[in-house]
Structure 1
Amino acid sequence: MTENQAIAVKVNGQLKDLSSIYSLNGDEEVEIILPKDPEGLEILRHSVAHIMAHAVKMLFPEVQVTIGPAIEDGFYYDFDRDIPFTEEDLQKIEKKMHEIIKSRQPFIRKELSKEEAIDLFKSLGESYKIEIINEINDDKVSIYEEGDFIDLCRGPHIPHTGIVRAFKLLSVAGAYWRGDERNKMLQRIYGTAFPTKQELDEYLKFLEEVKKRDHRKLGKQLKLFEISDDIGPGLIIWLPNGAIVRKVIEDFWRDEHLKAGYQLLYTPHIAKLDLWRKSGHLDFYKENMFSPMEIDEIFYQLKPMNCPFHIQVYKSELRSYRELPLRFAELGTVYRYERSGVLHGLLRVRGFTQDDAHIFCSEEHLEDEIQKVLDFTVFMLSTFGFSSYEIYISTRPEKYVGNLENWDRATLALEQALKNRGLTYHIDPGEGVFYGPKIDIKIRDVLNRSWQCSTIQVDFNIPERFDITYRGKDGKEHRPIMIHRALMGSLERFMGVLIEHYAGAFPLWLAPVQIEVMSISEKHVEYATKIYNRLIKEDFRVKLNVDNEKIGYKIRQATLNKIPYMVIVGDKEVESRKITVRKRDGENFELLEFEKFIEFLYTDIKDKK
């Protein structure tokens, strides 16, 4: 297959099989779909998913097939099989797929009535397909035949199996039928496919790099965090190294917020259930909240958000227009129920700390405050090494509170702020929160992966629910507008992204241990200890290694622990009263004056690079 080989067509805007061109009357608008096109790549991958299902049925006839869509980086297919697929099974399936591909079997589309389709899949013993057919509203359904394999599918597909040139089965995971924990656990096989072998090889190389950077693996190796079954899934224990990194991040965050005119808050982890009823969370967010607890015959709720608490701080005294904008910030820990199947290290957890803030302002301040938050976000992200990002405006969802006029005003304010800053953005229809539209900023890491972290939300509605006001210049009561914002999102998720972005090799200012001082032999211990104490006095995070081990071993261990600098002390260093410095990348600075090293470290930390 070449990148210019047609694999499908778009007729009057609708994707169809390439064979459909033979039934056109000549009046239609036709667009050729190539494998290099986004739609073409999706069709290719969907077709390879069918080939995989065909191979599975040939090897394991007792297995029932369910659904097999294309996804962002490949495809998957879910199978009902009591015994999990093994790595050896995947190799057998791949081999059989190559045989199917070599046979160049055509994909043939047919339309059947629902009754005919049900009878067909009954005869094939495919109960999941029957369940899907019964939920289709149309009188007819389409199936695809590929060799002796038949599948329920809307299509389109590639003309024949021989078009496939580059694919790979990647992994197996459990998946509940339709994502519902009450349903049966299925076996999901993931794979990927590309138009060319070169593209596949590049992607597989990328996956290897992703594995090396997996924050769960590095978190264990570098002793940053732990998740314990004794405590519960999705709940993070910060180990000493991780706690140091988190402290550095939090200190920087608090200092910068104080400089930016924010006031810091601390609020409780629980509140009366009625508070969440008043805020609207019980109506719109209940499925993400833990069950209430009863204390002294009153029901309390673990907080899923910090905003109602910040509202209470606002209401704690009478407010005047002279105080606005009023900015409250908190590193507030919240708790949200996530299904066990989606929990993933630090990236998807049940308890996390948001770098949360709420700004109360008048309408005349709104646009300027949004712009200030945008500037603050860009500054914060760039400090941590993220300079590439995509911006989205998420608009009103189906379930929402408030009136349409306020939603339109809020959305317009977000758009105008982005335009004033010259920032390009996309519209994400219907993805706003129930109380207002939002700006979402998705950062890109060193591997060009996208991560949702920062958000800015404009809210006219919760101030109305809690009836908060301020006294205006005219002496009358007015309703403030509330901006919800998070720059990093959650510290847990942000930390996971940071670990993978830096592959665990944090820049000096973030590294849990910045310098390791190591002696070559016992006679160098005294000088090494003196250097260690001087570095401690200068407020660096330092480890002293005077163990009776070979220096090569000490260097290897420090390198594995990704410590930025190693100070090596031997005869030359003792005699010259200087130091030899080795960077974790292997670069050496021999016989350096201690003061020069300190000066270099201070510059490195100040630049945060």
Structure 2
Amino acid sequence: MHDIDHRVLGNKLDLFHQQEEGAGMVFWHPRGWELYRVLEDYIRGRMRRAGFREIRTPQLLARSLWEKSGHWEKFGSAMYSLADAEGGRALSLKPMSCPCHVQVFNQRVRSHRELPVRYSEFGACHRDEPSGSLEGLKRARAFVQDDAHVFCMEAHIEDEVARFCELLRQVYADLGFPSFKVALATRPAQRAGSDEGWDRAEAALAKAARAAGLEFDVLEGEGAFYGPKLEFHLMDSRDRSWQCGTVQLDFVLPERLEAEYVNERNERERPVMIHHAVLGSMERFIAMLLEHYEGWLPLWLAPDQVVVATISEANLAYAEEVVQALEEAGIRVVQDSRPERLEKKIMDARERQIPILVALGSRDERDGTVSIRERDGQQQTLVLEEGVAWLREAARPPAKDGAIAFERTAP
């Protein structure tokens, strides 16, 4: 395939579209939303096994919160804002979720024994990006971040960074990216916090990265306004670099938003805040996956995993029985019982880039079998129950029944 731009694939495979009435926004079609949900559920399971608890926070909040956090000063020109008709109170759509997670943490007094506290969220964000910079799913005005935040003590930093780096390694390998490059982005010119705080944060993050076995380049001045960050860059099948995951160390927001816990001396103390993202943006990562695999997604990710194609109309009842058995096994299946030749159905399945085709003829119906054709041309005929079991195993998401082993750091 030559047309490997994700926007071309999105149209060809009926995944999503964009239009002027929602510039920078995405209209997900059924097949595209299926892919989105499979990826989201996979990340959700990984985060849960890594010790994160999922939360949900509002999209529209008082501008005063963003002013207090410092985001308004830094990002105000890119934030969507409006005045509340009731009292004229200025409101803004959130461009990121971090201040919201601090609000959840602040709802009660925390003991040092509770730390680290880990939250995750698929946070819907809006940013008023310039129209000239919009690029399909890669650069959008409405997108979802796989946001995560850890509230901990300084003594926890190394273990928490190591925990997240191990999670990143496993996720990227599962998604087809076994290697990545890392960069440490340091203090920008426009920043919050003292130089002393930045010295501490940069030294702590560099030390934690080395302890996690990472080698990294240094990007001077590319950090977030509240703290330094590790950036994880993946290489796709065309040797293009994509910046995806981040780990950011933050001493500033807990101070500005008055987060605190009670230490072992029964004194109030500020926690350290670590910002995490595995994929970065769900939309952007889907664009990357589509271009990396040129539309031929791995079986476990494919929106439609199997097409059941009849050889003649006489096999319709058996085809419905096979489809039901596959659906009950959790396989995403579509049925093709059009009055077309099998060759046409095979060609159409390839055009939609469905990885597996199950062809059913009179012999299959008589013998209770299914004829499985894989993308690479391999074929096998199995009894229906065996065929369902084989397909279920072949389509099983990575680490479905496994777990990532992590030790909690003793405070």
Shorter-chain TM-score: which interval? Answer: over 0.9
Q: CA deviation at 1:602?
A: 2.9
Q: CA deviation at 1:606?
A: 3.3
Q: Does 1:420 align with 2:221?
A: no
Structure 2: distance between partners of 1:212 and 1:594: 37
Q: CA deviation at 1:424?
A: 1.5
Name the residue aligned to 2:252.
461
Name the residue aligned to 2:406.
none
Aligned with 1:226 (options 14, 17, 23): 17
Contact 1:507 1:608 (C-alpha < 8 Å) held by counterparts = no
Q: CA deviation at 1:288?
A: 2.3
Q: CA deviation at 1:290?
A: 2.4
Q: CA deviation at 1:607?
A: 6.0
Q: Does 1:236 align with 2:26?
A: yes
Structure 1: distance between partners of 2:28 and 2:4: 19
Cα offsets for 1:37-70 (capped at 9, x unmatched): xxxxxxxxxxxxxxxxxxxxxxxxxxxxxxxxxx
Aligned with 1:435 (options 214, 226, 236): 226
Name the residue aligned to 2:70.
280
Q: Does 1:595 align with 2:385?
A: yes
Name the residue aligned to 2:365.
574
Q: Does 1:313 align with 2:104?
A: yes
Specify whether residues 569 and 386 from structure 1 end up closer, same or farther in structure 2 by C-alpha distance, changes over 3 A only: same
Specify whether residues 259 and 520 from structure 1 end up closer, same or farther in structure 2 by C-alpha distance, changes over 3 A only: same
Name the residue aligned to 1:65.
none
Cα offsets for 1:475-501 (capped at 9, x unmatched): 111110000111100100011001111
Structure 2: distance between partners of 1:367 and 1:409: 13
Counterpart code for 2:328: K
State the TM-score, normalizing by the size of structure 1: 0.64
Structure 2: distance between partners of 1:281 and 1:295: 24
Counterpart code for 2:15: L
Task: Calculate percent identity across the aligned residue pairs.
Answer: 39
Q: Does 1:472 align with 2:263?
A: yes
Specify whether residues 338 and 394 from structure 1 end up closer, same or farther in structure 2 by C-alpha distance, changes over 3 A only: same
Counterpart code for 1:263: R
Counterpart code for 1:330: E
Name the residue aligned to 1:349.
140
Contact 2:229 2:247 (C-alpha < 8 Å) held by counterparts = yes
Structure 2: distance between partners of 1:264 and 1:375: 19
Structure 2: distance between partners of 1:496 and 1:293: 35
Q: Larger Rg: 1 or 2? A: 1
Q: Does 1:489 align with 2:252?
A: no
Q: CA deviation at 1:586?
A: 2.8
Contact 1:508 1:608 (C-alpha < 8 Å) held by counterparts = no
Matched ranges for 1:368-447 at <5 A? 368-447=159-238
Q: CA deviation at 1:330?
A: 0.3
Aligned with 2:114 (options 323, 327, 332): 323
State the TM-score, normalizing by the size of structure 2: 0.94
Specify whether residues 606 and 542 from structure 1 end up closer, same or farther in structure 2 by C-alpha distance, changes over 3 A only: closer
Contact 1:579 1:592 (C-alpha < 8 Å) held by counterparts = yes
Aligned with 1:269 (options 59, 64, 71): 59
Name the residue aligned to 1:358.
149
Structure 2: distance between partners of 1:597 and 1:548: 25
Aligned with 1:538 (options 302, 313, 329): 329
- Root-mean-square deviation (CA, aligned residues, Å) is 1.5
State the SS of the aligned residue for 2:20.
coil
Structure 1: distance between partners of 2:97 and 2:350: 41
State the SS of the aligned residue for 2:162.
helix
Counterpart code for 1:383: D
Contact 2:299 2:305 (C-alpha < 8 Å) held by counterparts = yes
Q: CA deviation at 1:234?
A: 0.5
Q: Does 1:260 align with 2:83?
A: no
State the SS of the aligned residue for 2:396.
helix
Identify the range of structure 1 (219-228 vs 405-414) with the bigger mean alpha-carbon deviation.
405-414
Identify the range of structure 1 (291-300 vs 359-368) with the bigger mean alpha-carbon deviation.
291-300
Name the residue aligned to 1:605.
395
Counterpart code for 1:316: Q
Q: CA deviation at 1:387?
A: 1.2
Q: CA deviation at 1:361?
A: 0.3
Contact 2:331 2:395 (C-alpha < 8 Å) held by counterparts = no
State the SS of the aligned residue for 2:84.
strand
Q: CA deviation at 1:421?
A: 2.4
Name the residue aligned to 1:562.
353
Specify whether residues 588 and 293 from structure 1 end up closer, same or farther in structure 2 by C-alpha distance, changes over 3 A only: farther
Counterpart code for 1:402: G
State the SS of the aligned residue for 1:292.
strand
- Structure 1 runs (4+) deviating above 4 angstroms are none
State the SS of the aligned residue for 1:304.
coil
Q: CA deviation at 1:323?
A: 0.8
Contact 2:359 2:372 (C-alpha < 8 Å) held by counterparts = yes
Q: Does 1:586 align with 2:377?
A: yes
The answer for unaligned runs of 5 or more in structure 1 is: 1-208
Q: CA deviation at 1:414?
A: 1.7
Structure 1: distance between partners of 2:220 and 2:83: 36
The answer for unaligned runs of 5 or more in structure 2 is: 400-411
Q: CA deviation at 1:584?
A: 2.4
Q: CA deviation at 1:266?
A: 0.6
Contact 2:157 2:208 (C-alpha < 8 Å) held by counterparts = no
Contact 1:520 1:551 (C-alpha < 8 Å) held by counterparts = yes
Counterpart code for 1:229: E
Structure 2: distance between partners of 1:583 and 1:606: 16
Cα offsets for 1:53-105 (capped at 9, x unmatched): xxxxxxxxxxxxxxxxxxxxxxxxxxxxxxxxxxxxxxxxxxxxxxxxxxxxx
Name the residue aligned to 1:124.
none
Q: CA deviation at 1:410?
A: 1.3
Cα offsets for 1:310-339 (capped at 9, x unmatched): 111011111110110000110000001111
Name the residue aligned to 1:553.
344
